[in-house]
Every structure is written in structure tokens, then in C-alpha cells.
A and B are shown apart, each in its own frame.
Chain A
Amino acid sequence: MSLELRNVGRTFNDKAAVRNISFTAQPGEIIGLLGTSGCGKSTVLRAISGLDDAYDGRIEFNGKAPGAVRNAIGFIFQEPRLMPWLTVLENVTFGLKGTRAEKESKGKTFLENVGLAGNENAYPKELSGGMAQRAAIARALVTSPEVLLLDEPFSALDAFTKMQLQDLLLDIWKTYQTTIVLVTHDIDEATYLCDRIITLRGQPGEMEREIAINEARPRTRGSGELAEYKKEILDSLDLNQPAAAEK
């Protein structure tokens, strides 16, 4: 599904949080939203998801409003947000429709995909942070959403789990050709995953730059090319000034 934002903004209590956000995403494209804290990334993502419909401007999925296509959108929140009273499998199949057997077999497949096979009957309290986040990822993917919105999905994880899950995301993207909007603080993550990176700046947040990453996948973390992109992004966010030289 394609996604188009035109002059999207959001005002809270007469105070603009973010404004003039415009970009498009082709089906199967991975877009990164990058920016300093408080510049409105989550706000934009919530507007795209349809959870918040008090935004200004237009958001369209294949020409339709977010609310109309909600079933085609998967949202992976920054926290796992699992229902503590459901088992892992029940959590994963939470949004599925159909018979119990169908749901369970589908859920199991996706649990396997995220490397959680054998934990079907565990409760969220029994999971580690990374396991819980993977369960949340499985829950979002099991409905085979055409669009996937991710709000700093890996930020709370250790570097190793983070890399594993990034690669998992790419695997799934490859299989399902999902359109992805990824909010992140992590420039390396953005350059590794995204086709295009949109940087936001200021308060209220506005679009600063749009940087296309023209690198074939699989990409190599820490490669010279990605480092070039990283520098470009840091420049655009003014983080490469002497004051931030240690970066």
C-alpha cells in the first residue's frame, strides 16, 4: 500500500507540536523518521496509524484515510504492550479473526519467525524484555499488515538483540513487501534499514531533509558508505558542530 502525507501537522492546546510534514512512501518502501527528542515523530506516527485523528493536513493510504484501512496497518509500539492476562500465543493472535485452530496455527508460525517457538504458553511476566518485544512484533505481523508503523521498536534492547530483530524485520519485509515507517533515534539503525530517511528538526518539528540511501541490501553495518550517510544526517541535524564533536 502506498502512503501519502501532505502538510500534516498537529497542534496540542494551541501549541504546534509538528507541522508541514509531507512525504510519500511507495508500496514496499522503508521510510525512516529521524530527529531529536520532542520534535514530533511519535505524533506523526500516531496520526498515520489512525489512533489520533485530530491532525491537520491529509494522510492517505491508496487514497483512503487511516481510519478506513486500520486493519491493514500494524503498529509496533516502543514498549511491548502485551496483555498481561493472555499467554504469548493468545497475545500474538489477539487481532486475528477466524477459528481458534486457524488462529493458533498462524500464531505459532509467527512465533517461530521471531524465534519464540516453545514459549506459546508463557505469560508476559515470564518473558525478558527482548522476548516480549519480539512477541509484540509477532502480534503486529501475524495479521500480515500491508503497512507497518514502528515507533522506536528496538530502542530499549541491547545491541545484539537489536541487530537480530533488525534483520528479522528485513526478512519479513522481504517476504511480505511491507510498507514501513520507522521512527528511530538511532542513525545507524536508520541507515541500515531504510530506503529513505526523513529528518525532523525544531519545536514545532519540521522536515529538514530527505535522504535516499541508495545501497543494495544486504548492507554491511559500519561500512564506509553507511558512515557517509551518517555524516550527512548528523550534519543536517547540526550535530556535527564542534560542540558535539565527541559524536
Chain B
Amino acid sequence: MEKSVGQLTAVPANERIDEKKTIARRKKRVQPIMLGSILPIVLIAVWEVLSRTGIFPAYQLPAPTAILATINGMFQDGTLFTHVGITTYRVFIGFLIGTVAAMVVGSIVGFYEKAEQLFDPLIQAFRSIPSLAWVPLFILWMGIGEPSKVTMIAVGVFFPVYLNIIGGIAGVDRKLIEVGRMYGLNNLQLIRRVILPAALPSFLTGVRSGLGLGWMFVVAAELMGASSGLGYLLVLGQNTLSPEIILSSIILFAIIGKLTDWILKIIETRTLHWQDGMVKS
């Protein structure tokens, strides 16, 4: 009773305070962004000036505006979409295959002790091989077409997702499982209603770092041999002595890499809003 009366009278005052607070909060959010962008802007300006005056020779480090012009040129003739599209497509397919495979193997190994004893040592052994070392073998087996590229990316994505699923399942609070058992859940219900949700944060962490690796591996895959894609642009730029193409590709990689991670982060924040001490970065 008392409480509701107090709340009623407090509403208008609260609103005013809230308004002030939102402004203050917005300031708080904008300020670091402004502060953080000072240095990049200064650097880019200095770079532009140095390139224009010829202190940086254009055949080594073209001006930022020249890079933008290159990107714009690709945008105009449509090749931008081809390259970005095909690279994103490769990452996406590889990421999907790697994640699904990791989910299947990871869940089985995570849930069944026998499966763990059977599979885990082998997987751990494979893990200690730097994934890029597989590249020549995959090319030998599958040629330089799409399958070898996608496989490489999938292999890169697999391990972080797999490890995080295993870790997530192993880390489920035994106390919560007991609550489930106390309510008579069978094993399947226990997995669905307790273990999977509890392991979700760890799984999503794995998915995000898997995606990061996916972008790394697509570069390697496309460097090895491709006729399109951002990695191909890197090779093209090198062979035609055009640093502006290389830098354009790098910048595009940075942008879509960040963009996809941002999408995953939003998904993560949405699905894990219940978590105490919110998701970090």
C-alpha cells in the first residue's frame, strides 16, 4: 500500500530526473566517441597532406582520397558488389558449415562422456595444428575452386565454436541441473530446458570468435587463388603495383568484418539480456 502511494507521487519528479539523466547519459556515450575519433582524423589529414605533397610517393602510399576514389570507381562499375558479395558469401557458407558441425559434434561430446573419451583427444590433437597449414592439402584435394575455400573457412570456424560449446556444457551449474531433476525432467527435457540455455552465452562467444576467424581464413583462401573477392583484390593490387586497390580491399574487409560482428553482437545482446553483468565487447 505504502509503496504504491510513494510511487504515485514520485512519478513527475522521476520523469524530470530521467530526462536530465538521459541527456547526461547521451553526453557520456558521445564524449568518448568524439575523443576517440580525434586521433584517426588527425592522422588521416596528415596522411592526406603528406601524400599530396609527394612526401609519401603515390606508388607506395596513395592519399586517402585516392583510396576513396578507387572504392567509388568499383562502386560505379559494379565490381564492388561482386567482390564484397563473393567474399561474404564464402565466409557465410563456411561459417554456417563450421558452426553446424561444431554444434553437432560439440553437443554430442559435451553430453556423452563416452563420446568425449572417444572424440575429444583426436579433436584436441587436430586443434594444435595451425589451421592454415591445411591449405595446401585442401587445394591438392579439392582444387582452388569454391569447395577448398569454404572448407578452409569452415575448419577455422569449427574450433572456437566447438571449444566454447564443450566449455559451456561442462560449465553448467550442477545446482540448476538438480532443480530440473527435482521437477522430474528427463534427460532430453533437462538438455532443452536447462543445459542448452545455460550454455548459450558460451556458445555465442564461440560463434563470434568463429566469425572473426572466418574472415581471417577467407583472406588466406582467396590469396591462394581466386578470380574474385576481396582477397583477390589484394593479389591484384600487388601484381599491378596498385597500393590503392590493396588499401581499398583492407578497408572493405574492416568494414564488413565489423558489420557482421556487430550483427552478431546485437543478436547476442538480445538473447542474453537476462545475463547479469552484461556482455562485454
Residues of A within 8 A of B (CB): 49, 51, 70-71, 73-75, 77, 79, 81, 83-86, 94-95, 123-125, 143
Contacts and interface: CB of A to CB of B under 8 A. Distances in A.
B275 A81 contact: no
A125 B197 contact: no
Contact of B274 (A85, A94, A95): A85
Nearest to A140: B182
A150 B152 CA distance: 54
B276 interface: yes
Contact of A51 (B181, B193, B197, B273): B181
Interface residues of B, number: 17
A81 B175 contact: yes
Given A51-B178, A79-B175, A84 B274 contact: yes
Nearest to B273: A123
Given A74-B182, A81-B178, A84-B274, 11 more contacts: A77-B175, A83-B176, A83-B179, A84-B276, A85-B197, A85-B198, A85-B274, A95-B182, A95-B183, A125-B275, A143-B183
A148 to B, nearest CB: 12
A47 B261 CA distance: 48
Interface string B177-203: 011011110000000011001101000
Contacts of B175: 77, 79, 81
Contacts of A95: 182-184
Nearest to B276: A125
A49 B179 CA distance: 11
Given A83-B194, A83-B197, A85-B197, A75 B274 contact: no
B197 A49 contact: no
B183 A84 contact: no
A86 B200 CA distance: 13
B182 A123 contact: no
Q: Is the interface of A mostly helix, strand, loop or mixed?
A: loop
A143 B182 CA distance: 12
6 contacts: A77-B178, A81-B176, A84-B276, A85-B198, A94-B193, A143-B183
B208 to A, nearest CB: 19
Contacts of A49: 182
Q: Most chain-A Cβ atoms within 10 A of its Cβ — which of B179, B181, B193, B274?
A: B179
A146 B94 CA distance: 54
A11 B182 CA distance: 22
Contacts of B181: 51
B274 A125 contact: yes
Nearest to B201: A85
Interface in B155-183: 175-176, 178-179, 181-183
A121 to B, nearest CB: 11
B184 A70 contact: yes
B184 A123 contact: no
Nearest to B200: A85
Nearest to A84: B274
Nearest to A78: B175
B156 to A, nearest CB: 30
B197 A73 contact: no
B158 to A, nearest CB: 26
A75 B182 CA distance: 7
Contacts of B200: 85
Closest 4 CB pairs of A and B: A95-B183, A125-B276, A85-B197, A123-B274
A70 B275 contact: no
A238 B105 CA distance: 57
Contacts of B275: 84, 125
